[in-house]
Amino acid sequence: MGKPKRKRAKKQDHLILNLLILVTVVLVVFEGRLVVTMFTYRSVTNASPVTAQSGTSASSTGSMTESQQTENASTTNGSSSMEASLAGLPGNLSIPEGSDHSTTSAPSSNAVVPKASTPVDDSYFSDAVFIGDSRMEGFRNASGITQGRFFTSVGMSLSSMRSENIIQTPDGNITVAAALSGGTYNKIYIMLGTNDLGEYDWNSFQDGFVSAVKRFQEIQPGALIYICSVIYVEESKVDSTQYVNNANVDKINSILLDICEEQGYHYLNLNEFLSNGYGALIDGASSDGVHIYPDYCKQMLDYLKSHYIPVNQPDDTSSDETEATTDADDSV
Amino acid sequence: MMKKFTTILCTASMALCLTACGGGKEKDITVDTAKLANELQAAVTSDTLSETASDMLSSIYFFEDGVIEEGAAYASSGATACEIAVVKSKDAKDTANVEKLFQTRVDNQSSLYASYNEGEVKKLDEAIIKSAGSYTVLCVCDDPDKANDILKDYGF
């Protein structure tokens, strides 16, 4: 009579043991991921300070020689490149979602704006202009931001930003350049690229982007230029995954980062907090896979408030190269 | 006698016409703008709209300084053209201009959405722009009939 009971007790012990093992495995997998993300976040925020904080000019950021870059790349090992991807920084190669990210190189860069010790308030944006697509428009609508001008348009692409009448006014739509000429701005935030993910002539994109921003600098000489990374997407919710995918987001972000390094612009790595840790938008952050929910727009505002170039630090990126002009009707 | 009767009839008709024309906009009503905007956004759109900071209203709708006394607006995160705005003008006479600005907003949005997400243009075509007293409403949504019912309850 006592044997079956002992057997049952043994079976229960095994069951409990198996359950414990399962729980341990789950904890190791998920917590391990959190630990990796935590460390990579630190590695990004501890990256070399950007121009104004280090006292060096932004143009010197851009003057990082090719050999230095090669040297940096050569010291990059597989684990650090994975960390960079987990931290939302673009790699130099496109990374398909779900890949092991082992082929990317670490893009630690002086152009990435690090977290400031003290966040600013909305008044920092009083002389700022935000240029961008529907994602930037969503940020204006949902973040709770109270200051700054927004020249945004649904569907804005590099091409339309340069030449089409897409910015709303009481008298109809006008070009971004014309809108920009209507005021004086000391900071220009640009969020562009989502509608260019199907652009596979990346060299042409890079040249066009630089040309457009230089035109903005002519209109607003001396303005700080902030380039926002293209936010990851939730591929499972996107219709046009043949080009709106995270591999292309990584590719375009690596181009934007290159541009920032070369031109002395300041790169805002929004995927630092919007990435799920594996090169995609956080699950459930968006209804359609592209446009993020209000809570994340609010987080984006907090991010911008804590990632900025102090205004008392002169930014000499544009003063030497550009001249003021009032020719508002020229397309960029 | 007949001539006198005709004159009185014409005068009475004119007076009635004038009263009817002005009646819709010069109602003396009081609306809780935040409550109405919130009620509309909850009932007439499937999109998740969020409240836009009131400081941003002038730059979105191009109200002139000092025209608007208060207002509330809800807008999409960028996924759809849905939006709701309820504003109170300081002077009821300004509602016509506010309506015009709302219409300009709808027209501008329509031309942009035509090449971006054509499905949203229909919503913009059916946009509701209405005034009552000092209040003006813009409603771009999925269910304009329901929106009109709600607005009717508020005196629009």
Per-residue pLDDT tens over the stretch A290-314? 999 999 999 999 999 999 998 665 4
ipTM comes to: 0.79
H helix or E strand, kind and range, residue A226: strand A224-228
| Domain coordinates in residue numbering, chain A | 47-306
Give the predicted TM-score (pTM) of the model: 0.72
Q: Which of A137, A146, A168 sits opposite B108 (nearest CB)?
A: A168
Mean pLDDT, all residues of chain A: 75
The percentage of residues in chain A with a pLDDT greater than 70, rounded to a whole number, is 64
Residue written as token pair 């949203």: B120
Q: Does A294 touch chain B (CB under 8 A)?
A: yes
Of B76, B101, B111, the CB nearest to A141: B76
Q: Which residues contact A257 (CB under 8 A, 6 or more apart)?
A: A89, A90, A107, A109, A111, A112, A229, A267
Across the A:B interface, residue pairs with CB atoms under 8 Å apart total: 82
Residue percentage of chain A with pLDDT more than 90: 55
Where along chain B do its domains lie? 26-153
Confidence of residue B28 (pLDDT cuts 50, 70, 90): confident
Give pLDDT, residue A241.
Answer: 73
Q: Give B20→chain A minimum CA distance, Å.
A: 31
Residue predicted with more confidence, A78 or A152: A152
User: Which residues 9-68 of chain A have a CB within 8 Å of chain B?
Assistant: none
**Domain A47-306 in this protein, CATH class:** alpha beta
Q: What's the length of chain A?
A: 332
* Chain A CB contacts of B59 below 8 Å: 149-150
The least confident of A40-44, A141-145, A265-269, A271-275 is A40-44
pLDDT tens by residue, A47-62: 333 223 333 333 333 3
> Tokens 């300009």 map to which residue?
B104
Q: Check pLDDT > 60 for residue B35.
A: yes
Question: What's at A156, amino acid-wise?
Answer: M
Query: What pLDDT is stored for residue A1 in this prediction?
Result: 42
Model confidence at B18: pLDDT above 70: no
How far apart (Å, rounded) are the C-alpha atoms in residues A133 and A213? Answer: 15
Average pLDDT over residues A243-259: 95
pLDDT tens digits for range B54-108: 989 998 999 998 899 999 999 998 889 999 999 999 999 999 999 999 999 999 9
